[in-house]
Amino acid sequence: MFFVYVIRSTINGYFYVGMSEDVAKRIVQHNAGSTKSTKPYKPWELFFFESYPSRIEARKREVYLKSGIGKEFIKSKWRESQIV
């Protein structure tokens, strides 16, 4: 099983999209600063994740979420989650 995840920086609200077989372990790595691209924006919190049966399907979704329309999808989910 593969997971596509979106994490959010608690410092500046930046979103990061990634793919992993172990989301919890990957977030620990992000927060430890072992990922060059996310190190300056730590700490991170998990925003959401999705599961896929194959690496190929997960990669397609990751690429989509990193695209312009995918980023808009993430932002709209964030706005919806803030409505009280």
* Pairing status of strand 15-20 against strand 2-9: antiparallel
The DSSP output letter for 41 is G
Q: Is the pTM of this model over 0.75?
A: yes
Range of the domain at 33: 2-81
Nearest residue to 5 (alpha-carbon basis) of 31, 33, 28, 27? 27
Q: Which CATH number do you get for residue 25?
A: 3.40.1440
Q: What are the DSSP E strand ranges found in the chain?
A: 2-9, 15-20, 44-52
Domains contained in the chain, number: 1
Q: Supply angle C-alpha 69, 21, 49, rounded to 5.
A: 40
pLDDT digits (tens, 9 = 90+) for 34-72: 989 999 999 999 999 999 999 999 999 999 999 999 999
